Structures are given as C-alpha cells and as structure tokens.
Amino acid sequence: MGRVESACATLSAIRENSPLVHNMTNIVVANTTANALLAIGASPAMVDGPEEAPELASVAGALVVNVGTVTPAQAEAMKLATAAAHKAGRPWVLDPVAVGALTFRTKLAAELLENKPSVIRGNASEIMALAGQGAGGKGVDSTDSSETALAGAKELAKQTGAVVVVSGPIDFITDGTRTAEVANGDKMMPYVTGLGCTATALTGATLAVCDDPFDAAVDAMVFLGVTGEIAAKGSAGPASLQLDIINGLYQLNGDILNATARVEMHEAVA
Amino acid sequence: MGRVESACATLSAIRENSPLVHNMTNIVVANTTANALLAIGASPAMVDGPEEAPELASVAGALVVNVGTVTPAQAEAMKLATAAAHKAGRPWVLDPVAVGALTFRTKLAAELLENKPSVIRGNASEIMALAGQGAGGKGVDSTDSSETALAGAKELAKQTGAVVVVSGPIDFITDGTRTAEVANGDKMMPYVTGLGCTATALTGATLAVCDDPFDAAVDAMVFLGVTGEIAAKGSAGPASLQLDIINGLYQLNGDILNATARVEMHEAVA
Amino acid sequence: MGRVESACATLSAIRENSPLVHNMTNIVVANTTANALLAIGASPAMVDGPEEAPELASVAGALVVNVGTVTPAQAEAMKLATAAAHKAGRPWVLDPVAVGALTFRTKLAAELLENKPSVIRGNASEIMALAGQGAGGKGVDSTDSSETALAGAKELAKQTGAVVVVSGPIDFITDGTRTAEVANGDKMMPYVTGLGCTATALTGATLAVCDDPFDAAVDAMVFLGVTGEIAAKGSAGPASLQLDIINGLYQLNGDILNATARVEMHEAVA
C-alpha cells in the first residue's frame, strides 16, 4: 500500500470507529483541537484533573499531552495519566510546546518521556531541546529550521523509541531509521495559533486506529498539511484559514488526499 | 400563551434586561458560550475562583455549572457557588458533562444536586447516569438514545425537583409531569464541540428571566435548535456552523421562531 | 510625526521585530488574543504557571496581565511575574476585568499596581473602581460611561505613573497630562466577548516596540478601533465580526490607518 493509500485507509478507520481521544491540553487550543478531532471523525474528551485523567487515559483510544499552558497541578496529572496509558498499553503523543525555552516544562518533558510516548511532535527548537541540542526557541516559536533539527530528531527517536515529528514548511517524521517528508501546507499557517497543537491532536486520532506509530504520525501531518494548503488558497487571513481548516477536515476524503498529498519516504541503509 | 409565543416573550425579556449570567465552565467552550450569551442578549461572566464564585453566584441572574474540564479546585468552588446560589434563591443549571463515564465528576454531580439546581441538561448517557441507570457514555459522547433516557429523566426530575433536559436529535424536557419535545436541530451539530454546553449556557439566560424553570429549559432548547437548524442549511462544515449559530442567535427574532420552532407538549394524566 | 504616522511606524516595528508578548490571561480569550497578536505580527506565548511566568516575564518584550478568570494560583503567579518584569525593566499592561465587581480581584489589582504597570486598560467601571471611585460594574460589563471615568483615569495615572485607557464608544487614553481620544469602532463590538482583552493584548505588542507607553496605548486602541470599524461594515453578526477583526489585523497597513483612524490629542495646560 502506498503512503497516500495508507492515509486514506487511516481516515476511513477514524470515521468508522470514532475513537475516543483523550486530550490534556492548553487553554489556547482546547476548542480548536476538539473541533479538529470532531471534524476528522474522532470523539475528543478534554480531561486533565488528577483524579480523572489516569482513569480516562487507561481506556481511551489514545492520549494527547500538550504542555502549552501547563501548571503544577496539570503537570502532576500528566505524569499520572501517561503512566496509566503506558501501563494499559495505550498509545500517547507528546507536544513539548516551548520546551527548551522554559525550565519547568523542560524538566517535565524529560520526566514524561519515561512513560514512553509513541510519538513526539514539536517544532525544530523544541525537538532539538528534547534531544539535548540547541538553545531553545523564542517562547512557543522556533528559532531553528526543521532541516537543522532532523539529526537531533533521529537521535531522539533512537533514545526514546518514539516516532519524532519536526513540524515546519516541510514536516519530517522519523523513527530513527525510516524518515518521511510531508511537503504540504502554506506559509500563512504559522499565523494561526496552535496549528502545531492541532497536528498533535490529529496524531491522537491516527494513533488510535494505526498499528504503526510511524504511519500514524505521517498520516496526521498529511491530513493537516493537505487541509491547510487547500484552505489557504484565497484565504482573507488567518481567522478564515482556521475556519476553513476545520471545515476541510470534515470534508477530507480519499480523492482530495490523492490529488494533493506530497509525501516522500527515505529508508536508511542498515 | 402558546409555547412559541412564550419563547418569543423570553427572548424579548433577555434583550431588555440583559441578565448577568455567571458561568463556571470548561476551557473548551468558555469562549463560544460567552459569545452565545452575548449574541442572545445576556451579560455573561466567567468566574470560577473559590473566593469569587460564591460572591458572584449570589447576585447573578443565574448560574451555569459545567463540569467539562473540572479540577479539584474548581469542584470546591462549584460546591460553594451552588450553595450560595441556592441560599440566595438564584436559579442555577447543571451540565453533567461525562458524568457516568468518570468517577470523580459523577460523585461531584451527586453532591451538587444537594444544592437544588433548577435545571439539569445533559445527553442521554449523562442523564441516565445521574438517574442511577445506564453504563455511562464514551467520554463526553452519549452511547444511549434520548428516548431511552426519558424514563430516567422523569425519575430524576421527581427525585431532585429539577427540570431535566435530555439533548439529542429530539430534545426532551421534563419536570416529571409535563414533558416537551423540541424537534429542531441538524445532524451536523454534534460535529461542533460544546453545543450541548451552549444549550446549557442559554438556559442560564432564560432562567434569569422566566418564572418557571420548565419554560426556561424549553425556550433555551428552542433557541439553539432553531438557530442550529437554520445555520446548518448549506453550511460548508462544522466551523461555519459554529460561526453561523452565534450570528443566528444575534439575529434571532419572533418571526424566525414562529416560522421554524417545532415544539410539542405532553401533560401526564394525574 | 503625526499620531497616525506614529501608529504606522509602530505597526511596521511589530512586523519587523515580531516581539515576544507574554500573556497571563483568561480561558475565554486565550485563543482569540493569541490569534490577534499573531495577526498583527507579534509572537504570543500564553504562560501562567508560577514556576514559569516569572522566567518568561523577565525576557519577553512585554507582559500582558488579565484577571478575567483569575484563580488563587494564577494570582500568585501574576504577582511573581509582574515583580520579575518590573525588576527586569520590561513593560507590562494590566487588564482589570471585573475589578470593582468582585472583591478578590479588586484586592489583587491593588497589589499588582505596586509592580508599576506601564499601561492599565479597562472599561469605565473598572477604571473608576481602581481609582477608588464608582460602585463597580455588572460582572464584566461597565455600568458607567467613559466620559464619566475620565477624571478618575487621570487621577489613577497620576497615582500610579501608568498610562490609563478607558475603553468605550470613544476610547480615552491619558497619562494624567496628555489625553488622546480614539473615535473608531462599532456598536456591534461589545457583542463579541473579550475585544477589550484583545485591545490589552495588542498593547503588549505595541509596548514591546514603543519607547513611550502613551504612544503604545494610543496605537493599540487605533489598531483595534480601525479594524473593528471596517470589519463591522456589513457583518452578519458578532461571530463574523470576530473573524473579520483577526483577518483585518493581518491585513492592516498604513493606507488603511491613514484612511480610517480618528484620533484627537489634548494637552493639559501645565
């Protein structure tokens, strides 16, 4: 099965199974990521109380952990929930927002890695910081290029066993051996807050239905890249783009994916 | 006065009095429910600190309590605020998001019921869980039909003295004796996050101006059902639907209500 | 340089420098204010954990503090972060949402003033409450006119050394000596939740690039007033208005400012 065919199959599986995706996320994107998950066909639940998060994480199809506006209380709940997901064999994805730029969450992310995320998705500065490289971004924004971060991403994948995604004009997805490049998207997308968080949330949906986290990560980046690229055509500005992305995820289908997706695979020579 | 005439009068009263509606709600819908309340003509305030919530609850026109992303700190504030509202004779409405699916909030909801909500609005699984029936939903989504939940809703209304609303393709509103059915809405509405929460928030506005909580609950479901049904016509997707619902609440008037509302009343034989 | 030329220069400086604007804000507007800041060209980061906020506040271009949904934990973080900003010589702006109407945040705002905000932006009731006048608003909404609050605003500016902004149909900006009036905007704007918060957030962006906080405050009110006025033309309702404001901030340029801005300056006779 080709890469795009695989993405089509994943999309169908999400719509058929409507997987429960548990999100522990930030106050900026809670609404938009819930809507993105509903639009793609998943069943999102945003739950981050310390009594509740472990309970839900152990039964959900996948868990999404995003440290964007983390507080000490939410951090404790994230530790418990990722441990519960790991123990229950549930996949989870980490979004290390602003890791490297802020001390507390940099330490937190290192602790969370012990609970074995299936996927880590960040921008170049965040991934380099997690890999122990780079100087950290500017707040939540990257100061490094995705290409620069690729070596660190491969290293991080090998260290953690996770698939690592570096978002940018070209998205790189690697498990340390295989690497995929997704060349969809649009230069207006960084003007919408939290589309990286949306990519991570969609990875929750794909993880819930894919056997291989590498496929899940590639498919999620394809879904958002394709939808964003189409939505940006003739868009009046970032608010219209956000709106058209949610509508576009709802309308997304195999024909659109086949016509628009640009994915390249690279296999490392063993 | 017929049911739709009553809804028209309620709408006028909200616009005339701009009631202060105090919301203790979740991070997913705080923005959209504030905008829905402003659009209908109310004055929303989102306040959930433990020092502030009881103070506001005792002077607001109505209080809306939504446990969607409840934390232990917010739970304590909800107990204090609902007690303050009850003591001050202020109406309040409970949205038991995901009650039945998660243990902590199921216990919390039971405690909150002691402070005598005027209205409880949930989906079928949530209402059945509160009534001590059913197995709980999948995260925040219902796994039961509204029809199935109606008997439990009547029982819950009798137990608690609250008007109980079961949202679904047809909304059921009951005080244990009277039952109304609102048949407005559209099948795209569940693809927008938190429209149930919006129904609950609108119930805060109606409770602040109606003498009878049963009328308030019916009117709120009519406002959202009518607006959603019109907004969904030719909608490109759920983000457009959300946008058009807020615009539609702003434009809502008696002519639109009379032309579109579909409400049926059933009186139990004593 | 005339007032509008100055605003044009500020806009260019934001786009050129993309200043990091640190926001400690409320759950209602976190998304919309992040999007407004991105649209104008700034780099927003929403961070309010007590371990992280002081770290970020001491390096950000400016700090925005908004007490809209303040909790005790966030209040402590706000005290630490404003102290850190003050110590590091970073400008910060206070949005005293509902101060005067609620006791806890009224005390908090008084404490925060000790850390010397560069700008305070509120509605008439909030500014009068901070100035020790008036009876407080209705929840988050003003019950006083901007004109009424102007004397209190001048007094507050003199007491605190901050530039004080009173938002309303006409916005007043004063440092106690100079006063500016911005007459842009539209009567639909109060139907969108948190546009006042957006004005405050934009003030974070202007503070980060302007030497004089008075200029920063005027320019931010011009940016939002002009954008809102244009967006409201033919708008179908408040949700369309919100969307068009974000798009409009992205499209804003010198020609639009020169064609639309209505600013008057008044210099007090010494």
Of C27, C50, C247, the CB nearest to A240: C247
In sequence order, what are the beta bridge partners of C45? C22
In sequence order, what are the beta bridge partners of B92? B63
Residue A75 pLDDT > 90: yes
**With b meaning 16 or more CB within 10 Å and e meaning fewer, what string describes C78-88?**
bbbbbbbbbee
Nearest residue to B182 via CA among B165, B195, B197, B198: B165
Residue C91 pLDDT > 90: yes
Q: Which residues of A touch B73 (CB under 8 A)?
A: 73
User: Using the beta-carbon criterion (under 8 Å), do B45 and C193 form an inter-chain contact?
Assistant: no
User: Using the beta-carbon criterion (under 8 Å), do B34 and C105 form an inter-chain contact?
Assistant: no
For residue A269, with 0-12 CB atoms within 10 Å meaning exposed, 13-18 middle and 19 or more buried, which class applies?
exposed
Place of tokens 């921008």: A123
User: Using the beta-carbon criterion (under 8 Å), do B49 and C32 form an inter-chain contact?
Assistant: no
User: Using the beta-carbon criterion (under 8 Å), do B73 and C69 form an inter-chain contact?
Assistant: no
Place of tokens 């690039």: C209
Q: At C232, which amino acid appears? A: A
State the pLDDT at residue A106.
97
Mean pLDDT of A130-140: 80
Full DSSP string of A190-238 = GGSTTHHHHHHHHHHHHHHH-SSHHHHHHHHHHHHHHHHHHHHTT--SH
**DSSP β-ladder status, A92-95 and A119-123:** parallel
Distance from CA of B180 to the nearest CA of C (A): 30
Q: Which helix H or strand E contains B71, and what residues bound it?
A: none
ipTM for the whole complex: 0.96
Split at pLDDT 50, 70, 90, the class of B268 is low
Distance (Å, whole) CA A129 – CA A135: 7
Of C71, C140, C192, the CB nearest to B49: C71
A21-35, C114-128, C133-147: which has the minimum mean pLDDT? C133-147
Split at pLDDT 50, 70, 90, the class of C11 is very high
**DSSP β-ladder status, A163-167 and A171-174:** antiparallel
Nearest residue to B54 via CA among B77, B37, B31, B21: B77
User: Using the beta-carbon criterion (under 8 Å), do B46 and C29 form an inter-chain contact?
Assistant: no
Q: How many other CB atoms are found less than 10 A from the CB of residue C115?
A: 20
To the nearest whole number, what is the mean pLDDT of chain C? 95
**Full-model pTM:** 0.97
Is residue A121 a known part of a binding site? yes
State the pLDDT at residue A146.
85
C→B contacts (Cβ < 8 Å), by residue, are: 26-29, 31-32, 68-73, 98, 101-105, 138-141, 190-194, 236-240, 242-243
Mean pLDDT of B66-85: 97
Q: In this predicted model, what pLDDT tens digit does every residue of C25-84 receive, in sequence order? A: 999 999 999 999 999 999 999 999 999 999 999 999 999 999 999 999 999 999 999 999
Place of tokens 């109310």: B42
User: Using the beta-carbon criterion (under 8 Å), do C27 and A29 form an inter-chain contact?
Assistant: no
**DSSP β-ladder status, B163-167 and B171-174:** antiparallel
Indicate which of C31, C55, C195, C198 best probes the interface with A, i.e. most A CBs within 10 Å of its own CB.
C31
To the nearest whole number, what is the mean pLDDT of chain B? 95
Is residue A185 a known part of a binding site? no
To the nearest whole number, what is the mean pLDDT of chain A? 95
Q: Are C262 and C182 in contact (CB under 8 A)?
A: yes
Neighbours of chain A (3+ CB pairs under 8 A): B, C
Distance from CA of B69 to the nearest CA of C (A): 12
State the pLDDT at residue C215.
98
Distance (Å, whole) CA C60 – CA B186: 46
Q: Which two tokens stand for residue A237?
A: 């500005």
What domains are there in chain C, each with its CATH number?
3-267 (3.40.1190.20)
State the pLDDT at residue C268.
67
Full DSSP string of A20-63 = EEEEE--TTTHHHHHHHHHHHT-EEEE---TTTHHHHHTTSSEE
Q: Are A59 and A88 in contact (CB under 8 A)?
A: yes
Q: Are A192 and A238 in contact (CB under 8 A)?
A: yes
Place of tokens 């628009």: A260
Q: Which residues of C touch A28 (CB under 8 A)?
A: 30-31, 34, 46
Distance from CA of C109 to the nearest CA of B (A): 14
Residue C239 pLDDT > 60: yes
State the pLDDT at residue B269.
56
Residue C269 pLDDT > 60: no
User: Using the beta-carbon criterion (under 8 Å), do A28 and C38 form an inter-chain contact?
Assistant: no
Query: In this structure, what are the phi and psi dihedrals at residue C230, rounded to the nearest 5 degrees?
Result: -70, -45
Q: In this predicted model, what pLDDT tens digit does every residue of B24-62 receive, in sequence order? A: 999 999 999 999 999 999 999 999 999 999 999 999 999
Sequence-separated (6 or more) residues with CB below 8 Å from residue B149: B124, B125, B127, B128, B131, B134, B166, B172
Q: Which residues of C touch A105 (CB under 8 A)?
A: 52
Q: In this predicted model, what pLDDT tens digit does every residue of A173-217 receive, in sequence order? A: 999 999 999 999 999 999 999 999 999 999 999 999 999 999 999
Q: Which helix H or strand E contains A265, and what residues bound it?
A: strand A263-267
Q: Which two tokens stand for residue B177?
A: 């004796």
State the pLDDT at residue A176.
97
Q: In this predicted model, what pLDDT tens digit does every residue of B82-108 receive, in sequence order? A: 999 999 999 999 999 999 999 999 999
Q: What is the DSSP letter of B266?
A: E
Residue C22 pLDDT > 60: yes
In this complex, how many residue pairs, one in chain A and one in chain B, have their CB atoms less than 8 Å apart?
100
Q: Which residues of C touch A29 (CB under 8 A)?
A: 31
User: Using the beta-carbon criterion (under 8 Å), do C69 and B55 form an inter-chain contact?
Assistant: no
Q: In this predicted model, what pLDDT tens digit does every residue of A29-64 receive, in sequence order? A: 999 999 999 999 999 999 999 999 999 999 999 999
Mean pLDDT of B5-14: 97
Of B44, B55, B248, the CB nearest to C102: B55
User: Using the beta-carbon criterion (under 8 Å), do C35 and A192 form an inter-chain contact?
Assistant: yes
Mean pLDDT of B67-94: 97
State the pLDDT at residue A234.
86
Nearest residue in C to A138, CA atom? C20
State the pLDDT at residue B140.
77
Q: Which residues of A touch B102 (CB under 8 A)?
A: 47, 52, 55-56
Q: How many other CB atoms are found less than 10 A from the CB of residue A89?
A: 7
Residue C131 pLDDT > 80: yes
Q: In this predicted model, what pLDDT tens digit does every residue of B144-190 receive, in sequence order? A: 888 889 999 999 999 999 999 999 999 999 999 999 999 999 999 99
Distance from CA of A210 to the nearest CA of C (A): 31
User: Using the beta-carbon criterion (under 8 Å), do C239 and B251 form an inter-chain contact?
Assistant: no
State the pLDDT at residue A139.
78
Nearest residue in C to B22, CA atom? C139
In sequence order, what are the beta bridge partners of A267? A178
Distance (Å, whole) CA A99 – CA B257: 51
Q: Are A197 and A25 in contact (CB under 8 A)?
A: yes
B→C contacts (Cβ < 8 Å), by residue, are: 20, 22, 27, 30-31, 34-35, 38-39, 43-52, 55-56, 60, 73, 242-251
Distance from CA of B203 to the nearest CA of C (A): 18
Split at pLDDT 50, 70, 90, the class of A269 is low
Nearest residue in B to A50, CA atom? B71
For residue B135, the SS3 value is: coil
Distance from CA of C72 to the nearest CA of B (A): 7
State the pLDDT at residue C146.
85
In sequence order, what are the beta bridge partners of A121? A165
Q: Are C109 and C120 in contact (CB under 8 A)?
A: no
Q: How many other CB atoms are found less than 10 A from the CB of residue B120?
A: 30
Residue A114 pLDDT > 70: yes
Q: What share of chain B is helix, strand, coil (3-state, %, to 5)?
A: 50, 15, 30
Residue C270 pLDDT > 90: no
User: Using the beta-carbon criterion (under 8 Å), do B192 and A244 form an inter-chain contact?
Assistant: no
State the pLDDT at residue B248.
98
User: Using the beta-carbon criterion (under 8 Å), do C238 and B251 form an inter-chain contact?
Assistant: no
Q: Which residues of B touch A46 (CB under 8 A)?
A: 26-28, 68-69
State the pLDDT at residue C68.
97
Indicate which of B25, B26, B27 best probes the interface with A, i.e. most A CBs within 10 Å of its own CB.
B27
The 3 state secondary structure assigned to chain C is CCHHHHHHHHHHHHHHHCCEEEEECCCCCHHHHHHHHHHHCCEEEECCCCCCHHHHHCCCCEEEEECCCCCHHHHHHHHHHHHHHHHCCCCEEEECCCECCEHHHHHHHHHHHCCCCCEEEEEHHHHHHHCCCCCCCECCECCCCHHHHHHHHHHHHHHHCCEEEEECCCEEEECCCEEEEECCCCCCHHHCCCHHHHHHHHHHHHHCCCCCHHHHHHHHHHHHHHHHHHHHCCCCCHHHHHHHHHHHHHHCCHHHHHHHCCEEEEECCC
